[in-house]
A = this chain, B = another copy of it.
Amino acid sequence: MVTAGRTANGDTKERLLAAAERLFGEEGFARTSLRAITLAAGVNVAAVHYHFGSKEALLAALFTRRAAPLNADRLARLDVIEAAAGDGALPLEAVLEAFVAPAFRLIAELDPAGPSPAQLIARFFSEPEEVVQRMLREQFGEVGARFLVALRRALPEVAAVEVGWRFEFMIAVLTHLLSRMHLLEIVPGRALGPADEATTIRRAVTFLAAGFRAPAGGAA
């Protein structure tokens, strides 16, 4: 198929992306060396710079590769919901699921075994690198804004400021789930047990929907 000969496979770039996604997700960006990545990928150190240019550029490539389809999926689902609702109020659970479910889809579809891709996406929210924070704003800005509007339409009785805060709580729950779901948690004897994707989504949506609907005033 290809013109010139090479080592054994032509997908060095893909192998690098896969290895980097896993290691960045598990160890974080700063702790992961290019040497560790290329070793895991079975390619040469220089390959990173040839294919991507720098360590940061590799990270950026990983980010957009996952975030773009993730957010496209979210917006497509939201389009459907908004079209079905016409001018009426939006169904809250549906909106929440449109935001949450694609992230879990990301886990299941790609690497059935490993914890890989979603963990990295979630980790982005806590990585201090400026590049990361800038890309977060770029990639999630539009989705966030549109979902915020949708949530307000779904909750006309809740003050807009409160919806804004609760939107932040939703992001918290989602990123926490994605980044830590695979490991045994801090508190022993939790016995959360392994749950399938659909159950986890339902759990999150149920919890979040109730929180979003709560009357704002109530003190204890």
Binding site for B on A (CB under 8 A): 26-28, 30-31, 91, 93-94, 97, 123, 125-129, 136-137, 140-141, 144-145, 148, 161-162, 164-169, 171-173, 175-177, 179-180, 185-193, 202-220
Question: B165–A171 contact, CB under 8 A?
Answer: no
18 interchain pairs, CB-CB under 8 A: A30-B30, A93-B218, A93-B220, A94-B220, A126-B126, A136-B186, A145-B187, A148-B187, A161-B193, A164-B190, A165-B203, A168-B180, A168-B192, A169-B207, A172-B177, A202-B219, A207-B212, A210-B210
Instruction: State the Cβ distance, A66 to closest chain B Cβ, in Å.
Output: 16
* Cα distance A31–B30 in the bound complex, in angstroms: 6
* Chain B residues closer than 8 Å to A219, beta-carbon distance: 93, 202
Question: B186–A205 contact, CB under 8 A?
Answer: no
* Chain B residues closer than 8 Å to A30, beta-carbon distance: 28, 30-31
Q: Max chain B CB contacts within 10 Å: which of A144, A175, A205, A206? A: A206
- Besides the contacts A28-B28, A165-B207, A210-B213, what 12 more A-B pairs have beta carbons closer than 8 Å? A126-B179, A137-B188, A141-B188, A161-B192, A164-B190, A166-B207, A168-B185, A172-B173, A206-B216, A209-B214, A210-B211, A210-B214
Closest residue of chain B to A205 (Cβ to Cβ) is B220
Closest residue of chain B to A217 (Cβ to Cβ) is B206
Instruction: State the Cβ distance, A17 to closest chain B Cβ, in Å.
Output: 20
* Chain B residues closer than 8 Å to A26, beta-carbon distance: 128
Instruction: State the Cβ distance, A207 to closest chain B Cβ, in Å.
Output: 4
Instruction: State the Cβ distance, A120 to closest chain B Cβ, in Å.
Output: 12
Task: Out of B144, B206, B220, name the residue touching A187 (CB < 8 Å).
Answer: B144
